[in-house]
Chains A and B, each alone.
Chain A
Amino acid sequence: MPERVSPYRRIAVFGGVYSNAHALRATLDDARGRDVDAVFCLGDVGGFGPHPDRVYPLLREAGVRVLQGNYDESLASGRTDCACGYTDPRDNHFARISYEYTLARTSADNRAWLGTLPRHRRVQLGAHRLLMCHGSPRVVNEFLWESSTPAGLLRRFLREGDADVLLCTHTGIKWHRAVGDGAHAVNVGVIGRPENDGTTNVWYTILTATPDLAVEFVPVRYDAEALAREMEAEALPAEFVETIRTGWWTTCLENLPARERARGKF
């Protein structure tokens, strides 16, 4: 079902808020200045950061249209783990700390709200039919990295999903690929933590129907030091805080393909 009858002209899309209220505020402020018709979040509202309940009022007040990610699904159903899909015991150790912290501090109301969110969304942007998902259209926690997602698979997703443009998140690193015949796939990135490039800013995406699809990745600078201090005060792992302060990932590295892993510090 389309979101509305008339097509959008320009939209902002981000993923992975990860309880980062500072970055969410900065992203929403930035998007307001760019004349967008609507703002979309592709899921994973909680996890990693401090005080998870602080981001919900910001999302609601700004009218952000939110999809359900794997973390949201887990919190909504009270699962005992985040379904992040790790097999490495070190990654699972940190994922567990993060999930238990977030589950214990997310209100029942917010958890119930996460349970109402859709898994997919179809949106018309000019002449482009957009299909939005969290991980992939078929599996909520499937990782679509730039170096490990074949163009043939993306074309299959678009064909099966009856769409021209696929939007996803989940991995934490943005990318855009044209896959022929005016079709595109975009991983919109996340605003909850930097993308393992040694800078502290985060990224979101502006999509414009021009009429050719225009994809712009927008860096967002926010008060990372304030977030880091809050995480320390909440006794979240020092490894997480280091990522916020340095821009390098220190945990949950298992799923990175060789090319993305080689670019990082750890």
Chain B
Amino acid sequence: MRAGLPLLARGTAAAPLAPFVHLTALWIQVTGTWCNLECTHCLNASGPREPWLRPLDAATVRRAIADAERLGVKEIYFTGGEPFLHQEILSLLALSLSVAPTTVLTNGTVITAAMADALATLARAASYSLEIRVSLDHVDPELNDRVRGRGAWAKAVRAVRLLNERGLVPIVTATEILAGDAPEGAGTYARFRDFLLAHGVRKPRVKILPVFAVGRLEAPDGERLTEEALEGFDRGQLQCAETRVVASGGVYACPILAGLPGARLSDGNLEASFRAAPLYHPACATCHRTGMTCRNA
């Protein structure tokens, strides 16, 4: 782990637990925290320098997909970092799509026309749906690039256009990091929907994520869940009850906390990670409060 990344001061022993119900979603942290952008609110502090969480080699990914198929997975997600920086991303996606519907979470900046063509070919040949989620934090270029970096807006919007032209109906994923800068009366969702329609995207798909106090926004003194706070709440509703993440170093409880020691549930064996997960992190309180899921819907 890279020096300077905040480690949690408190252990997980006293944390309430979320049961493991079944494996719905397998996440693959394919490029670890290696990314060409360095967004101010990044959940796992990804960036272009030496990643604190290493990319996965293709053999590890293939093994995880095979295990997940055997265990009856419903959906597979590729994330990072920026997944399209992985040398073998297209062959891994092809394998994944032969097993389950597959989603890639991307910042869109490296999706060229040639890559969009390759993805369209992959999607047409696949047994299951290929979903591309492109991150964008604001419809306004200047506001967006303030958190995502100069030029990020133009490249992401180009990716949305390229994918849309090829019938891949991308999902635009936005956080509410800039919600305070919204024009009066327009919610984040409506703003993106209108933006996409205005840009010729006739089938607008928008997913909104809350802002988490993790990664670059880590707040060591953030609220943590307690047994009392969870009284009467069905913990099986939390995404860690049906999600596991394969990342460098093992299998983790959820995509938000992948790579953090407190969320590590096995050393790499998927089935061995099918056990209760400690709700130890302030991000767990955000999940509980907002009812959010990292899944597409």
Q: Which residues does A use to contact B, with CB under 8 Å?
A: 85-90, 138, 145, 147-153, 155-157, 253-255, 257-262, 264-266
How close is B277's CB to chain A, nearest CB, in angstroms? 19
B168 & A254 in contact (Cβ 8 Å cutoff): no
A261 & B128 in contact (Cβ 8 Å cutoff): no
B101 & A89 in contact (Cβ 8 Å cutoff): no
Q: Which of A90, A153, A156 has the most C-beta atoms of chain B within 10 angstroms of its own C-beta? A: A153
A87 & B297 in contact (Cβ 8 Å cutoff): yes
B128 & A150 in contact (Cβ 8 Å cutoff): yes
How close is A168's CB to chain B, nearest CB, in angstroms? 14
| Residue in contact with B202 in the complex, picked from A152, A157, A255, A266, CB distance below 8 Å | A266
B297 & A254 in contact (Cβ 8 Å cutoff): yes
Query: A246 CA to B76 CA in the complex, in Å?
Result: 34
Interface residue? B70 (CB, 8 A) = yes
Given the complex, which residues of A lie within 8 Å of B101, measured CB to CB? Answer: 147-150, 257
A258 & B189 in contact (Cβ 8 Å cutoff): no
Provide a sorted-by-A list of 25 A–B residue pairs whose CB atoms are within 8 angstroms: A89-B187, A90-B189, A138-B22, A145-B129, A147-B128, A147-B129, A148-B128, A150-B100, A152-B69, A152-B72, A152-B73, A153-B72, A153-B73, A258-B123, A258-B132, A258-B169, A259-B123, A259-B128, A260-B129, A261-B203, A261-B205, A262-B167, A262-B169, A264-B203, A265-B202
Q: Which residues does B use to contact A, with CB under 8 Å?
A: 22, 69-70, 72-75, 99-101, 123, 127-132, 167-169, 187, 189-190, 193, 202-203, 205-207, 293, 297
Query: A260 CA to B167 CA in the complex, in Å?
Result: 11
Given the complex, which residues of B lie within 8 Å of A152, measured CB to CB? Answer: 69-70, 72-73, 99-100
Residue of A nearest to B295 (CB): A87
B123 & A88 in contact (Cβ 8 Å cutoff): no
B167 & A88 in contact (Cβ 8 Å cutoff): no
Given the complex, which residues of B lie within 8 Å of A85, measured CB to CB? Answer: 297
Residue of B nearest to A263 (CB): B167
Query: A258 CA to B130 CA in the complex, in Å?
Result: 7
| Residue in contact with B203 in the complex, picked from A87, A148, A262, CB distance below 8 Å | A262
Q: Which of B74, B75, B187, B206 has the most C-beta atoms of chain A within 10 angstroms of its own C-beta? A: B74
Query: A149 CA to B128 CA in the complex, in Å?
Result: 8
| Residue in contact with A261 in the complex, picked from B127, B169, B190, CB distance below 8 Å | B169
| Residue in contact with A148 in the complex, picked from B70, B75, B190, B293, CB distance below 8 Å | B75
How close is A73's CB to chain B, nearest CB, in angstroms? 15
Query: A20 CA to B28 CA in the complex, in Å?
Result: 44
How close is B178's CB to chain A, nearest CB, in angstroms? 18
Query: A153 CA to B73 CA in the complex, in Å?
Result: 6
A150 & B129 in contact (Cβ 8 Å cutoff): no
Query: A156 CA to B69 CA in the complex, in Å?
Result: 10
Q: Which of A86, A150, A155, A262 has the most C-beta atoms of chain B within 10 angstroms of its own C-beta? A: A150
Q: Which of B123, B203, B206 has the most C-beta atoms of chain A within 10 angstroms of its own C-beta? A: B203
Given the complex, which residues of A lie within 8 Å of B22, measured CB to CB? Answer: 138
How close is A173's CB to chain B, nearest CB, in angstroms? 13
Query: A44 CA to B203 CA in the complex, in Å?
Result: 27
Contact A150/B74 with A262-B169, A262-B203 known, Cβ cut-off 8 Å: yes
B189 & A259 in contact (Cβ 8 Å cutoff): no
6 more contacts with CB within 8 A, not counting A87-B207, A258-B168, A258-B169, are A148-B74, A152-B100, A153-B100, A261-B203, A266-B202, A266-B203
Q: Sorted from nearest, which 10 A-B pairs have the closest CB atoms?
A: A156-B72, A257-B129, A147-B129, A148-B101, A150-B100, A259-B129, A258-B129, A152-B69, A255-B297, A153-B72
Query: A146 CA to B117 CA in the complex, in Å?
Result: 24
How close is B98's CB to chain A, nearest CB, in angstroms? 10
Given the complex, which residues of A lie within 8 Å of B205, measured CB to CB? Answer: 254, 261
Residue of B nearest to A85 (CB): B297
Query: A87 CA to B169 CA in the complex, in Å?
Result: 18
Given the complex, which residues of B lie within 8 Å of A264, measured CB to CB? Answer: 203
Contact A150/B73 with A88-B189, A262-B169 known, Cβ cut-off 8 Å: yes
How close is A265's CB to chain B, nearest CB, in angstroms? 8
